[in-house]
Chain A
Amino acid sequence: MSKVIDADVSHTSTALVTIENIYLLIGIMVMFLVVRTLQDKNHPKRLTTALFWFLFGSSFLFGDFAIATFGAQITYLMVGISVLLIALLAGLNLVSMGSYSIPSEQVQNQSAKTLGNKLFIPALMIPIVTVVFTVLFDNVAINNVYLLDQRHLTLASLTIACIFALLVGWKITGGSPVQAVSESRRLVDSIGWAAILPQMLAMLGGVFIVAQTGDSIKELVTLFIAPDNRFMLVVLYCIGMAFFTMIMGNAFAAFPVMTAGIAMPFLIEGHGASPAPLVALGMYSGYCGTLMTPMAANFNIIPAALLDLKDKYHVIKVQIPTAVTLLAVNIILMYSLVFND
């Protein structure tokens, strides 16, 4: 292997661990879980749960193939219809947990004692191997074929880390990767619909872009503008960033709209505000919004599902006091830092 320095990263360059291969891997895993669900005779909602995950897995397993074969428009339409079905299955409460064979607490305690701290190794390997690969193997290539997808370095590294951890976990516990995937059905089912929410929200964000919802929000916010009052302009920019982020679930979507709508014309041009601290604090105000919204599902709702919390909004509730305090701090910081006169 040779480490290519200063390699020209073109979009046509191929890689071993590409995003398409990762989607295939996820698709295969989900379909394996569908089979396991169908085999689960004690599952209260066996067929509809299997259909729910089959529709979800299809977009991973067949999606890119379908685009190449039938064209993008037909594939998007099919996925769009699947999305409606997925939402309907979840909305009609037809997706549920199944039955799982979990060893008793005693057996687990015994196993924990026998294996000791070795159990931590695979778990710690995931973050460490991911970081090592993103930092050290980012542009390793053989004959112009990269090891990692150049546009998705972290995701490609994470996939490799998961595979390594599975193999090491096999060595330590004796449980094979096939058993591991079967075991993961318990976790995937307990996460349930929340696993799909982030993609659904990205979809809604896409519809908002097509409908130009952002422009309407900007106009709505600018109704409150008093161009001469510096403090109110700062408050409006910061709260506007947080509010817009809460709606879109993503500060990156809010930033260009609110900065172009309020910060650029009124604060930078109108009052000579210093741009660097202005945008840094504006973005952070958006992050305060991210902490308070179910629309940022991968940060706020998925963890609640992963940790088996009774209230799916519990993480948000814990974050709100810090987020609101920080938003106030941001407003004060911005007002005292950005004006030079």
Chain B
Amino acid sequence: MFDLNYWPLIGIPVVVIGFALRFNPLLVVTFAGLATGWAVNLDFISLLQTFGEKFMNSRQLASFILILPVIALLERYGLQQRARDWISQIKTATSARILALYFIVRECSAALGLLSLGGQAQTVRPLLAPMALGAATNKYGELPKPVKDMISAHAAAVDNIAVFFGEDIFIAFGAVLLMDAFLKENGITGIEPLHIGLWAIPTAICALVIHLFRLARLESKIAKAVQKYNAPEPIL
């Protein structure tokens, strides 16, 4: 066990410490890359070329930028205000109920393969977060910033969790195909993507139950937080 080579691991403590000390993440990640390259004796020019190649080949990750002009335009003309007004007409709407309903729809549609039906830039920023915030504003009046942030963060989390644990049920999704290909490559036969998709269902249901349980308690958390932040400053 003494032949374990620890040097390639050096990037990990760099990232952990850098993020923990809240240095700029771009700087931390670049530094981790430089440190790892140095630790395994990669020459500087080929290291920079690796940087450039991987950066170029992952440009599709920036495609959310294309969505921003539409969102920015609609927001200028009052999209967020409209979302809030519209939700105020539904008397039974609460932040938690809106998020729970979105979670169910998002997880089920992801299981059917309709992954692009939602997303952080597509639906959370322009629609879901303003509606969840609107419902709470209708109930408590203007919200303090920490409460706004808590509700918005929950809106983002709902989209992530619902899509992650729904998508693996859909048998044509990349992860299922990756697992299938891996098993076949390693000589395990008789497994179809359908089997893998089926075994994703128990966790998908647990994710739904666990997160809906948390959302059920969100309303009282919001009420408490509003009370806390709106309490008059104690006189010293």
Contacts and interface: CB of A to CB of B under 8 A. Distances in A.
A205 interface: yes
A112 B85 contact: yes
B164 A291 contact: yes
Contact of A187 (B60, B68, B164): B68
B8 A275 contact: no
Tell me which of B26, B49, B178, B200 has the highest count of chain A C-beta atoms within 10 A of its own C-beta. Answer: B26
A80 B186 contact: no
B148 to A, nearest CB: 9
A289 to B, nearest CB: 11
Contacts of A142: none
Contact of A216 (B4, B42, B58, B60): B4
Interface string B113-156: 01111111111111101000000000000000110011011111
B147 to A, nearest CB: 12
Contacts of B223: none
A115 B54 contact: no
Interface residues on A, range: 35 or more
Contacts, number: 418
A175 B75 CA distance: 11
Interface stretch (B28-36, B90-98, B227-235): B28-36
Given A166-B73, A307-B125, A157 B149 contact: no
Contacts of A181: 69
A188 B60 CA distance: 16
A337 B56 contact: no
A180 B72 contact: yes
B30 A84 contact: yes
Contacts of A59: 55-56, 59
Contact of B66 (A159, A279, A337): A159
A60 B63 CA distance: 11
A250 B211 CA distance: 22
Q: Which of A155, A183, A212 has the most CB of B within 10 A?
A: A183
Nearest to A105: B81
Interface string B204-217: 00110011001000
Interface in A299-333: 299-304, 306-311, 314-315, 317-319, 321-322, 325-326, 329-330, 333
B101 interface: no
A268 interface: yes
Contact of A131 (B116, B182, B197): B116
B94 to A, nearest CB: 17
Interface stretch (A8-16, A43-51, A87-95): A87-95
B27 interface: yes
Given A276-B195, A319-B157, A337-B199, A122 B74 contact: yes
Interface of B: 1, 4-9, 11-12, 15, 19, 23-27, 29-33, 36-37, 39-40, 42, 45, 47-79, 81-83, 85-86, 114-127, 129, 145-146, 149-150, 152-157, 159-161, 164-165, 168, 174-175, 178-179, 182-183, 186, 188, 191, 195-200, 202-203, 206-207, 210-211, 214
25 contacts: A25-B66, A73-B49, A75-B56, A90-B26, A91-B23, A108-B76, A112-B81, A116-B82, A119-B82, A120-B86, A123-B126, A165-B70, A180-B72, A184-B69, A187-B68, A193-B24, A207-B36, A208-B8, A211-B36, A216-B9, A255-B178, A283-B168, A298-B120, A302-B121, A318-B153
